[in-house]
């Protein structure tokens, strides 16, 4: 059996990792892929390394994720004395440097203990100093030392809701573009706005906490890990989901039959409905204020009826669909993927309040109508205390939805950088000033590529 190593950087990264460990422990028996046995004590521990400059991280983890923390070997938890980094350069060059080197050493030893490493999953918030700077340097090093190793990043991306503490999050996120594009194979883009909206709308949690948001990410990520475990391979997913070198930023979605509401009854098959939900932006774990413009408000009047509006379609190049539970079959999944023809086709939703039919646009981008899927066994499922969850699914979409989140970070970046706000701080910590425009250009190149790849589709539908 091949192994997967998980690494968490910074507060959010460590919490996401521990939350996922608790989720996995609630679902299935430990496997060699994710756990190893200590030679001296015979105890099982997760193949996990945690790193944060903040010395209080283990205390916080113990408070919120005692069970998850008990599965991690304490020798593989590195903390610093300098507290929070906040800025990417501190994480990369100064405060986070020692932690990064220690993590690399621990990683090297862990790899030696593996028979055949499948790949690594790195969790972090790229808005944080450690989650961007220390993480970025780590994946760059791993990528150059272990050529061909699959690196999947599960990231929280900075979104517009910033407060004074988070004002440099857009810098941190944009500065992590280079390592993510160059070293990572897949970047799973989550935002806290997306996770908390999902918690509120679909799970009816009034005031979601980090624990709720992390729990949602874990439920989804557990499907991806299940897929890797079944396939015993991480790299083939990237080859089907990344048609182009720069298109590494994927939109995650999650659904389960616990979320089905009577309002959606016009779709007959539960399986088909769940599949359709995976393509519905309300079930994405990614959201930003920029997306509200296109997903909530009609932008273009439909030519045939003044009451019918068309919402900008989300163009899919490729999707990875990971199903879990009973009765899934190629046929009922295919019926969920059938939106009729011609392309683009629509998953309609009746909006009684506004008396018009809101159309949620879903279209396969014609040159790349491509999906890959797998079906896993049912597991106990759910966070502690939840009932059995017989059917659930996660999707990773290669679509143009992520573009808006990246664009928002760029605009926030530009607003700050035009005044050179806080740049001296980053430069004082060792960052070259040229890195700012270089990272920004790299991200612009990603965005421009999305636009140019999608443009034939737009012209066709004018």
Ligand X SMILES: Nc1nc2c(ncn2[C@@H]2O[C@H](COP(=O)(O)OP(=O)(O)OP(=O)(O)O)[C@@H](O)[C@H]2O)c(=O)[nH]1
Residue 166 vs 349, nearer CB to ligand X: 166
Count of other CB atoms within 10 angstroms of residue 241: 22
Which option in Mg ion, ligand X, none does residue 177 bind, with CB closer than 5 to 8 A by kind? none
Query: Least separation, in Å, of the C-beta of 10 and Mg ion?
Result: 5
- Yes or no: say if 46 and 171 are a contact pair by the CB < 8 Å rule: no
Measured between alpha carbons, how far is 291 from 445 in angstroms, rounded to an integer?
20
Residue 52 vs 140, nearer CB to ligand X: 52
Query: Least separation, in Å, of the C-beta of 130 and ligand X?
Result: 4
Residue 18 vs 278, nearer CB to Mg ion: 18
Query: Least separation, in Å, of the C-beta of 194 and ligand X?
Result: 10
Binding mask 199-238 toward ligand X (x if CB under 6 A, else -) reads -----------x--xx------------------------
Q: Which of 8, 80, 131, 344 binds ligand X (CB under 6 A)?
A: 131
Residue 179 vs 313, nearer CB to ligand X: 179
Q: Does 192 bind ligand X (CB under 6 A)?
A: yes
Query: Least separation, in Å, of the C-beta of 168 and ligand X?
Result: 9
Q: Does 130 bind ligand X (CB under 6 A)?
A: yes
Among the residue ranges 72-80, 127-135, 227-235, 311-319, the one whose residues contact ligand X (CB under 6 A) = 127-135
Query: Least separation, in Å, of the C-beta of 356 and Mg ion?
Result: 46
Angle at 185 between CA 100 and CA 95, to 5 degrees: 15
Query: Least separation, in Å, of the C-beta of 57 and Mg ion?
Result: 7
Question: What is the enclosing helix (H) or strand (E) of 396?
Answer: strand 391-399
Residue 85 vs 234, nearer CB to ligand X: 85
Residue 134 vs 319, nearer CB to ligand X: 134
Among the residue ranges 110-118, 121-129, 242-250, 252-260, the one whose residues contact ligand X (CB under 6 A) = 121-129
Residue 13 vs 281, nearer CB to ligand X: 13
Among the residue ranges 122-130, 269-277, 402-410, 449-457, the one whose residues contact ligand X (CB under 6 A) = 122-130
Chain positions 51 to 90 lying near ligand X, rule: CB under 6 A, are: 52-53, 84-86
Query: Least separation, in Å, of the C-beta of 206 and Mg ion?
Result: 27
Q: Which of 127, 194, 344, 382 binds ligand X (CB under 6 A)?
A: 127
Residue 54 vs 140, nearer CB to Mg ion: 54
3-state SS of the chain is CCEEEEEEEHHHHHHHHHHHHHHHHHHCCCCCCCEEECCCCCCEEECEEEEECCCCHHHHHHHHCHHHHHCCCHHHEEECCCCCCCCHHHHHCCCCHHHHHHHHHHHHHHHHCCCCEEEEEEEEECCCHHHHHHHHHHHHHHHHHCCCCEEEEEEEECCCCCCHHHCCHHHHHHHCHHHHHHHCCEEEEEEHHHHHHHHHHCCCCCCCCHHHHHHHHHHHHHHHHHHHHHHCCCHHHHHHHCCCCCCCEEEEEEEECCCCCHHHCCCCCHHHHHHHHHCCHHHECCCCHHHHHHHCCCCEECCCCCCCEECCCEEEEEEEEEEEECCCCHHHHHHHHCCCCCCCEEEEEEECCCCEEEEEEEEECCCCCEEEEEEECCCCCCCCCCCCCCEEEEEEEEECCHHHHHHHHHHHHHHHHCCCCCHHHHHHCCCCCCHHHHHHHHHHHHHHHHHHHHHHHHHHHC
Chain positions 164 to 183 lying near ligand X, rule: CB under 6 A, are: 166, 169
Q: Does 12 bind ligand X (CB under 6 A)?
A: yes
Residue 53 vs 251, nearer CB to Mg ion: 53
Phi, psi of 431, rounded to the nearest 5 degrees: -80, 140
Among the residue ranges 5-13, 114-122, 137-145, 396-404, the one whose residues contact ligand X (CB under 6 A) = 5-13
Q: Does 361 bind ligand X (CB under 6 A)?
A: no
The binding site for Mg ion (CB under 5 A) comprises: 10-11, 54, 84
Comparing CA positions, the residue from 288, 301, 251, 241 lying closest to residue 410 is 288
Which option in Mg ion, ligand X, none does residue 86 bind, with CB closer than 5 to 8 A by kind? ligand X
Contact residues toward ligand X (CB under 6 A) are 10-13, 15, 52-53, 84-86, 125, 127-131, 156, 166, 169, 192, 195, 210, 213-214
């Amino acid at each position: 059996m091949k192994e997967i190593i998980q690494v968490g950087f910074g507060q959010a990264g460590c919490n996401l990792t521990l939350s996922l460990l608790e989720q996995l422990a609630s679902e299935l028996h430990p496997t060699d892929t994710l756990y190893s046995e200590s030679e001296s004590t015979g105890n099982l521990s997760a193949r996990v390394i945690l790193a944060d400059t903040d010395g209080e991280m283990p205390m916080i983890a113990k408070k919120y994720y005692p069970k998850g923390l008990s599965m991690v070997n304490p020798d593989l938890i590195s903390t610093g004395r300098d507290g929070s980094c906040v800025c990417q350069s501190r994480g990369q060059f100064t405060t986070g440097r020692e932690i990064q080197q220690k993590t690399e050493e621990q990683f090297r030893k862990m790899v030696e203990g593996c028979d055949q490493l499948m790949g690594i999953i790195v969790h972090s918030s790229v808005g944080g100093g450690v989650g961007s700077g220390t993480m970025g340097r780590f994946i760059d090093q791993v990528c150059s030392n272990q050529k061909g190793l699959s690196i999947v990043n599960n990231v929280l991306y900075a979104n517009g809701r910033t407060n004074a503490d988070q004002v440099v999050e857009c810098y941190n996120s944009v500065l992590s573009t280079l390592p993510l594009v160059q070293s990572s194979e897949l970047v799973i883009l989550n935002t806290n706005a997306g996770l908390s909206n999902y918690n509120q709308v679909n799970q009816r949690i009034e005031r979601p906490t980090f624990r709720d948001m992390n729990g949602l990410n874990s439920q989804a990520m557990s499907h991806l890990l299940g897929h890797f475990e079944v396939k015993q391979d991480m790299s083939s997913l990237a080859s089907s989901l990344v048609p182009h070198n720069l298109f590494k930023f994927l939109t995650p979605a999650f659904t389960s039959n616990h979320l089905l509401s009577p309002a959606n009854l016009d779709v007959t098959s539960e399986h088909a409905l769940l599949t359709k939900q995976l393509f519905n932006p309300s079930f994405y774990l990614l959201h930003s204020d920029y997306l509200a413009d296109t997903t909530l408000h009609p932008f273009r009047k439909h030519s045939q009826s003044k009451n019918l509006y068309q919402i900008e379609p989300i163009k899919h190049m490729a999707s990875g669909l990971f199903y879990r539970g009973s009765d899934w079959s190629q046929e009922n999944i295919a019926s969920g993927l059938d939106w009729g023809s011609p392309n683009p086709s629509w998953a309609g939703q009746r909006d009684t309040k506004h008396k018009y039919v809101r159309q949620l646009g879903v279209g396969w981008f014609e040159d790349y109508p491509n999906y890959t899927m797998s079906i896993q066994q049912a597991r106990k499922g759910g966070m502690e205390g939840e009932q059995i969850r017989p059917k659930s699914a996660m999707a990773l979409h290669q679509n143009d939805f992520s573009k808006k989140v990246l664009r928002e970070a760029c605009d926030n970046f530009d607003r700050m950088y035009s005044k050179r706000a806080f740049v001296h701080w980053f430069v004082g910590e060792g960052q070259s000033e040229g890195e700012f425009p270089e990272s920004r250009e790299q991200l612009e190149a990603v965005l421009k590529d999305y636009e140019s790849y999608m443009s034939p589709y737009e012209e066709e539908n004018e």
